[in-house]
Amino acid sequence: MYNPDIIIGTESWLREDIGNAELFRADYTTFRRDRQARGGGVFICVKINFACSELWVDDDFEILAIEVKGSDPTYTWEIIGPYRAPNEDVRNIEKLAARTGFFGNSIKRSIIGGDLNLPQVNWKGIADSSSAAQIFIKKLVWDNGYTQLLDKPTRGDSLLDVYLVGTDSILISCDTVQRISDHCGVLLEVDWVEEGLETHVKRLIPMYHKTNMLGLQNFLRDKLQTWANNGSCVEDIWIKFKDIVFEGIERFVPHKILKQNPDPEYYNKEVKRLKRRFRKAYNMRKPDADWKAKLKRLSNKLLSAKRDALDNFLSFILQNEGKSLSEFYRFVNRRKETGKMYHRLKTVMEGSSLIPSKNQII
């Protein structure tokens, strides 16, 4: 249903011996700050086509920060995931306030999303300043120029969660979603810059439907017989069991290289939908007049949708002030096609401000 670029989660209840591959999707880069005792924990997942790295992890409190860099290294998004247990010291908010904000010579936009368990705090600044929690919230929010986006309860009748964005972040929408957990989920949409995207890298993915089942069964039968008689505790037995399963997958499940998506960047949802319909109809291969007519109709619709998508894409990058020229030349350099493409570029450019009219020429 949802396909977010970034996921922030709290109360993960994870431990060091639980690997990312056991819980998280392979198309995300996962960062974690696990609690060393029962409960708690914070994680942040980022789509693998974004350049990202761990920024800092607090040793004392459950706070995790990452950065998402653009092609320009001075342009950075800072994503911070904090969690504070209900009875925990509020000094973690002071620590959070001290470690956020402007740094270096970078142009940074920030998002802080998590669970601080502070239902008594007034996020609008109208509250008793003698409260320690309220004083720390003032340092975190107003002194750093953040805005709390949530204004309604996220668990029962209490507003426990926090989503803070800097004033320079372009907010599109913010809404809550029921039945994600015992808290409401938060869907945040901001203006995300294209410079943060990297080319999709090649990676190995398992093809479970082509598993050598007989070989895997024999392997597990031999290994599990030895495994069942070893192990000093439940945790040790579990770790050895996982090692056996992963070894079986490595040996008996074929893998393939997932290559870069060959679709041009201007393909929208309508183009992809028609492309799937055309491919499905083509694979049916019914050599009759109705099939050929249907295939031709789909082909015409697909070509028309591609032209419209390309025109809209070019119009956007040419009219987008501040980025138009760099976007335009980056697009042209990626394309080594026939004169039809350049005719299309010329047609769109004539309607933009990049080509002056005769009255504008001196």
pLDDT digits (tens, 9 = 90+) for 215-240: 999 999 888 878 877 777 887 888 88
Segment (H or E) for 6: strand 6-10
3-state secondary structure of 338: coil
As a whole number of angstroms, the distance between CA 76 and CA 56 comes to: 14
166 against 198, higher pLDDT: 166
302-342: pLDDT as tens digits:
889 988 888 887 777 666 544 445 555 556 655 554 444 55
If you average pLDDT over every residue of the chain, what do you get?
77
Residue 353, pLDDT score = 47
**Backbone φ and ψ of 6, nearest 5°:** -135, 140
Residue 290 reports pLDDT greater than 50: yes
Give the 3-state DSSP-derived string for 91-148, with helices as H, strands as E and coil as C.
HHHHHHHHCCCCCCCCEEEEEEEEECCCCCCCCCCCCCCCCHHHHHHHHHCCCCCEEE
- Average pLDDT on 54-68 reads 91
The structure tokens listed for 305 are: 């949708």
Residue 159, pLDDT score = 84
CB-based contacts of 282, cutoff 8 Å, min separation 6: 295
Tell me, what amino acid is at 260?
Q
The model's confidence at residue 357, banded by pLDDT at 50, 70 and 90, is: very low
As a whole number of angstroms, the distance between CA 28 and CA 81 comes to: 16
Report in angstroms the alpha-carbon separations of 239 from 41, 151, 216, 219: 21, 44, 19, 18
The model's confidence at residue 211, banded by pLDDT at 50, 70 and 90, is: very high
Residue 106, pLDDT score = 45
260-278: pLDDT as tens digits:
666 776 788 888 888 888 8
The structure tokens listed for 241 are: 């069991």
Residue 6, pLDDT score = 92
Residue 131 reports pLDDT greater than 70: yes
Segment (H or E) for 44: strand 42-47
Residue 80, pLDDT score = 93
65 against 168, higher pLDDT: 65
Q: How many CB atoms lie within 10 A of CB 327?
A: 18
Q: Where are the domains of the chain?
A: 6-196, 204-257, 269-360
The yes/no answer on whether domain 6-196 falls in CATH 3.40.50.620 is: no
Walk across the sheet containing 107-115 and list its strands. 52-57, 62-69, 75-83, 107-115, 161-166, 146-148
Q: For the residues of 74-94, what is the DSSP string, one character each?
A: TEEEEEEEEE--TTS-THHHH
Residue 129, pLDDT score = 62
176-186: pLDDT as tens digits:
888 667 788 88
As a whole number of angstroms, the distance between CA 69 and CA 51 comes to: 6
Residue 156 reports pLDDT greater than 90: no
